[in-house]
């Protein structure tokens, strides 16, 4: 009886949408395809009989249908990149008894000279915009829309960021390495009233301690031996009117913390060798993967600075606590990597997804991207299989104890990936280098590094 009703429903939908030129797709409340008309199937070159029941992200590239279901918000006239062309998409939530039960998507396209001309014009505008973006320094390049997620935790986090971003309040981003703290910092700046002003990043852990003050506050001509003629503005001066992102702030030396606190309190910067202070107006976004509270107890971080930067705290959950994101992120990262490498790999076997769900991901999204990139280089098929995955995801891997640091895990991943490539290439180093997408000299460097 149920099958008959489903068949009747499909017949009704085919009667309504079957003969229209527009591409139509309907998904259920979980984002799985429940209907796709012939026009869309023909355009995507997929078999209509195999589409139903698959997750929409596995069928349509750059799809946002599952996000519309979760947000319950209509998206109209949105530009979507599909199969090498920019299309115009409408996405509408479907409701029953006051609840969202799915979504209907419509892609408008015409295979005519007029549409191709319009599409070419859009491409030209996008490329021109990208050129201008690349020419501007100190610019936030990521937006909230580019943080790919379908989990309730991240969607809630995005909504919270939309509330706090417009103001000037200081924000502390907390989360493990690889969770995307920098992406959120960029997004906050993009949504703020300062978005037309500079976005300046300082990695507090990467700058040598003796250079940190000159990098932050700048210096005057002749301030010290080797100083650049004419002096140099610091990060605070460069960020004037905009946002200063202090990444890994837990690694900042105490003497630099004192000076930053003064800048935040008085709104003035004194460059090295200067006799006068300079007024600056910056918004602070800080990020750390450490417990600042423990650093305060150990007297390695100032408590007054902590309260100054921690007006609003944003905790970014690790990947292992938002398994809903794994499928969407894996698909997105695969498309990103294959577009960059030019290798045709279209998806994952089901057991690979199962493996992803069981793994703990100590390196979070960054590790997921490294794993997928390694698999893309190692696979000989269009679908990633279990044997293509690095060793830490293989059954009984010694990596699963998760006692290694992120750097150690990345190095072990690289070592095992090189070993797998050599094994697949039958020991042929040139072929192995080609499989990995690196030069022969780079491969020899890695062989020497890992004593292979």
pLDDT given for residue 318 in this prediction: 93
Distance CA 118, CA 92 (A): 25
Tens of pLDDT, residues 82-102: 776 667 888 999 998 889 999
**Contact indicator for 445, 438 with CB cutoff of 8 Å:** no
Tens of pLDDT, residues 251-278: 998 888 988 888 888 888 888 777 788 8
Work out the pLDDT band at 141, boundaries 50, 70, 90.
low
Tens of pLDDT, residues 279-335: 999 999 999 999 999 999 999 999 999 999 999 999 999 998 888 899 999 999 999
Say how far residue 227 (Cα) sits from the centre of its chain. 38
CB count within 10 Å of CB 116 equals: 12
pLDDT given for residue 5 in this prediction: 46
Segments in 52-112 forming alpha helices (H): 56-59, 65-71
Beta sheet of 171-174, edge-to-edge order: 199-203, 243-247, 283-288, 171-174, 312-315
| Terminal-residue alpha carbon distance, the chain | 63
Work out the pLDDT band at 450, boundaries 50, 70, 90.
confident
pLDDT given for residue 289 in this prediction: 92
Distance CA 306, CA 304 (A): 5
CATH of 406-450, one of 2.40.128, 1.10.287, 1.10.3470, 1.10.10: 1.10.10
Classify domain 152-315 by CATH architecture.
3-Layer(aba) Sandwich (3.40)
Give the three-state DSSP class for 91: strand
Of 221 and 372, the structure prediction assigns the larger pLDDT to: 372
Q: For domain 3-113, give the CATH superfamily.
A: PAS domain (3.30.450.20)
Averaged pLDDT of the chain: 82
**Contact indicator for 223, 265 with CB cutoff of 8 Å:** no
pLDDT given for residue 209 in this prediction: 78
Each domain of the chain, given as residue ranges in start order, spans 3-113, 152-315, 321-398, 406-450
Work out the pLDDT band at 113, boundaries 50, 70, 90.
very low
Helix (H) / strand (E) containing 100: strand 99-108
- Quickly list DSSP for 120-133: HHHHHHHHHHHHHH
Work out the pLDDT band at 181, boundaries 50, 70, 90.
very high
Work out the pLDDT band at 446, boundaries 50, 70, 90.
confident
pLDDT given for residue 129 in this prediction: 61
Which range in 139-148, 208-217, 219-228 is most confidently predicted, on average pLDDT? 208-217
Q: Which of 48-52, 64-68, 121-125 has the lowest mean pLDDT?
A: 121-125
**Contact indicator for 308, 285 with CB cutoff of 8 Å:** no
Distances (CA, A) of 123 to 113, 298, 341, 418: 15, 55, 21, 38
Its pTM surpasses 0.75 = no
pLDDT given for residue 133 in this prediction: 54
The third-level CATH classification (topology) of the domain covering 321-398 is Helicase, Ruva Protein; domain 3 (1.10.8)
* CB within 8 Å of 231: residues ≥ 6 apart: 218, 219, 220, 221, 223, 271, 273
Distance CA 351, CA 364 (A): 20
Q: Residue 414 above 90 pLDDT?
A: no
Q: Residue 354 above 80 pLDDT?
A: yes
Work out the pLDDT band at 4, boundaries 50, 70, 90.
very low
Give 226's DSSP letter. T
Which residue from 243, 121, 232, 257 is spatially nearest to 182, judged by alpha carbons? 243
Which residue from 171, 169, 168, 219 is spatially nearest to 197, judged by alpha carbons? 168
pLDDT given for residue 426 in this prediction: 77
Work out the pLDDT band at 213, boundaries 50, 70, 90.
confident
Work out the pLDDT band at 110, boundaries 50, 70, 90.
very low
Q: Which of 28-32, 85-89, 106-110, 372-376 has the lowest mean pLDDT?
A: 106-110
Of 263 and 119, the structure prediction assigns the larger pLDDT to: 263
Mean per-residue pLDDT for 28-33?
91
* CB within 8 Å of 181: residues ≥ 6 apart: 173, 174, 175, 247, 287, 289, 316
Q: Residue 69 above 80 pLDDT?
A: yes
pLDDT given for residue 222 in this prediction: 59
pLDDT given for residue 2 in this prediction: 37
């Amino acid at each position: 009886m149920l099958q008959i009703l489903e068949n009747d429903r499909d017949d009704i939908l085919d009667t309504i949408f079957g003969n229209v030129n527009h591409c139509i797709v309907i998904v259920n409340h979980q984002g799985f395809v429940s209907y796709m008309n012939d026009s869309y199937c023909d355009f995507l070159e997929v078999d209509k009989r195999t589409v139903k029941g698959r997750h929409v992200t596995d069928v349509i590239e750059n799809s946002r249908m599952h996000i519309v279901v979760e947000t319950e918000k209509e998206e109209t006239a949105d530009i979507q990149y599909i199969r090498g062309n920019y299309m115009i998409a409408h996405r509408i939530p479907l409701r029953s008894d006051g609840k969202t039960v799915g979504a209907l998507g419509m892609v408008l396209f015409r295979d005519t000279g007029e549409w191709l001309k319009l599409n070419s014009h859009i491409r030209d505008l996008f490329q021109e915009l990208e050129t201008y973006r690349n020419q501007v320094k100190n610019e936030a390049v990521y937006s909230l829309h580019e943080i790919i997620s379908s989990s309730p935790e991240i969607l809630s986090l995005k909504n919270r960021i939309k509330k706090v971003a417009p103001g000037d309040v200081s924000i502390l981003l907390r989360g493990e390495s690889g969770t995307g703290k920098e992406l959120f910092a960029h997004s906050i700046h993009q949504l703020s009233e300062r978005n037309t002003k500079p976005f300046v990043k300082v990695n507090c852990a990467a700058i040598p301690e003796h250079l940190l003050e000159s990098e932050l506050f700048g210096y005057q001509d002749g301030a010290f031996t080797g100083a650049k003629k004419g002096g140099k503005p610091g990060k605070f001066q460069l960020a004037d009117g905009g946002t200063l992102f202090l990444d890994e702030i837990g690694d900042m030396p105490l003497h630099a913390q004192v000076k930053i606190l003064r800048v935040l309190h008085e709104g003035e910067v004194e460059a090295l060798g200067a006799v006068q202070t300079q007024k600056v107006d910056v918004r602070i976004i800080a990020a750390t993967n450490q417990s600042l509270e423990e650093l305060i107890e150990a007297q390695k971080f100032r408590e007054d600075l902590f309260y100054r930067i921690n007006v609003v705290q944003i905790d970014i959950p690790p990947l292992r606590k938002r398994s809903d994101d794994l499928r969407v992120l894996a698909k997105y990262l695969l498309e990103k990597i294959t577009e960059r490498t030019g290798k045709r790999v279209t998806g994952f076997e089901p057991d690979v997804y199962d493996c992803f769900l069981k793994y703990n991901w100590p390196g979070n999204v960054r590790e997921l991207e490294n794993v997928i990139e390694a698999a893309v280089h190692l696979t000989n098929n269009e679908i990633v299989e279990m044997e293509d995955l690095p060793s830490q995801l293989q059954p009984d891997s010694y990596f699963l104890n998760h006692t290694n640091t992120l750097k150690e895990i990345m190095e072990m991943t690289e070592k095992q990936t090189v070993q797998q490539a050599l094994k697949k290439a039958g020991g042929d180093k040139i072929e192995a280098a080609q499989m990995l997408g690196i030069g022969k000299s780079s491969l020899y460097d890695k062989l020497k590094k890992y004593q292979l």
